[in-house]
Structure 1
């Protein structure tokens, strides 16, 4: 029974992501262009901890579909604990928590086998609640671009990545371990340069000496598509924390991502989890490091 439920979770979430991609909607970008919600990672309103992994995509998707004005979320009990309540008739959003259990048959063994699984629970956007403290429902004022840029510059420096400016292509060279990006003046909008840099820093985190991800070697293979998916989401997660509007750098990869997701129902969970880990790694040397509410990794 538990195995069937796990399969349903992975398949249902993957099917939703596939539908969105086939409709031309990229789940880690769309909320910013079609809603009045501010740019941010989704956070638990009671703990101020950011959600992570696949939960970011699930919650961003709900913000986009339902037009919420905030990225703050609460469980039913948390709303009551804050003196408020969820409005009658409101439907929550399902998020996931990754956990493991040890089969009873192996409980006494020297190295018991642990089986990963996903727990479901429901959260509600603050817009779906009432009678909450004003501080909890007040929107976060967006930063002007002149204040975002110094934060982005500082974060780039704090990572310690070897970033070389020049040429007309952006790439990460894994063998030599450096990033190459064109000069800022070659971009129509300055902020686009930072989106590009954080995409390449996303690749940089995958080096063996860091998070040790497997890089694909050619366009079109599944490992290559998966790594590009991780880098795209890493950039989106980092940009959201910096209040930079995420965009799709490589729309031509969408076909490869669809092929990957259709072949492996756990791929989006794995990629989102890896992207959250990469974003955490990038922020690990920074004073802006976000606290994380949960990680729904591939189970």
Structure 2
């Protein structure tokens, strides 16, 4: 086995490390998918973390890991590079800088398994593996081209709300405005959200709408998530954890500061994560895929011409 492939114990330790960090944040009253972007100590522009060399967005649990590092260390950029990528761009990581660990998940087929499959005629079984790799914020580097280090400006405020409403319409989801509660009905596949004037801050209408659209993305005709959980069940709370992150990822991409929509589920989320250290990784991965699906309905000239980061979360 290559030294890059992790044993089962190593994979478990990596899941535990990530999950324990997320649990610590939640216990402290901080939500990793809703960072304090509007506060003075946060210098980075709103948005999803990207590889500054390839332009690709990071996805899944890596979004939460890198957002956390930006907030913790006050980095002014959402751009990240490996040590070698910094060198390839003509720069370097400054001496003494510590990187941030992100994860790459994939599968491989050992040679003996390929041989067994050839001999038996059966399908070869792939083995999953996790690999850690280290990235550095562009602010930790020097000598990089100027266009790599300049932070992208926030979109003009006047573009935010029309873009969200246009995006919702473009998804083709049955979206209804009315009543006094926001919800998604899987059996009838429609979303209901109160009118904007029902919200103390109108921008919250868009955050709520994206949360419910996030639920609808999981319908069997779309991304086919398990939406069968009854209210209050673990399945139901896990789906809420996914929808919270979908809304946050979409908001960040659209220039809207994310907020927590359902903080009352925090006890359930902590219970789920303590029972299964892979839960937050799965939830972030599914949320990232759903956000990509929703944002794919933006006009082509607004999709930044990049695709989701190929380094997938587990």
Q: TM-score if structure 1 supplies the norm length?
A: 0.96
- Conserved in 2, the CA contact under 8 Å of 1:31 and 1:60? no
| Corresponding position of 1:294 | 310
Gaps of 5+ in 1: none
1:60-103 Cα distance to aligned partner (Å, 9 max, x none): 00001101111011111111111111110000001111110223
| 1:111-150 CA-partner distances (Å, limit 9, x unpaired) | 1111212111100001101111111111111123211122
Aligned-CA RMSD value: 1.3
Flag structure 2 segments of 5+ consecutive residues without an equivalent.
1-5
3-state SS of the aligned residue for 2:164?
A: helix
Aligned to 1:26: 31
Hey, what does 1:74 align to over in structure 2? 81
1:263 to 256, 275, 279: 275
Give how far 1:8 is off. 0.7
Quote the residue 1:60 is aligned against.
67
Q: What is residue 91 of structure 2 aligned with on the other side?
A: 84
Evaluate the alpha carbon distance shift between residue 295 and residue 82 of structure 1 in structure 2; reply closer, same or farther with a 3 A threshold: closer
**Distance (Å, rounded) in 2 between the aligned partners of 1:66 and 1:90:** 12
- Report how far residue 31 of structure 1 moved: 4.2
- Structure 1 segment 88-237 matched on structure 2, within 5 A: 88-108=95-115, 109=117, 110-237=122-249
Number of aligned positions between the proteins: 298
TM-superposed CA distance for 1:216, in Å, is 4.6
Residues 59, 313 of structure 2: 8 Å contact kept: no
Distance 1:66 1:25 in 2: 16
Contact between 2:113 and 2:125, CA under 8 Å: does it hold in 1?
yes
Question: Could you tell me which residue of structure 2 aligns to residue 41 of structure 1?
Answer: 48
Q: How far off its partner does 1:218 sit?
A: 2.9
**Contact 1:216–1:225 (CA under 8 A) maintained in structure 2:** no
Question: 1:13 and 2:23 equivalent?
Answer: no
The Cα of 1:232 is off from its aligned counterpart by 0.5
* Alpha-carbon separation, structure 2, partners of 1:38 and 1:117: 33
Tell me how far apart the structure 2 counterparts of residues 261 and 216 of structure 1 sit (CA, whole Å): 20
Secondary structure of the 1:175 match is coil
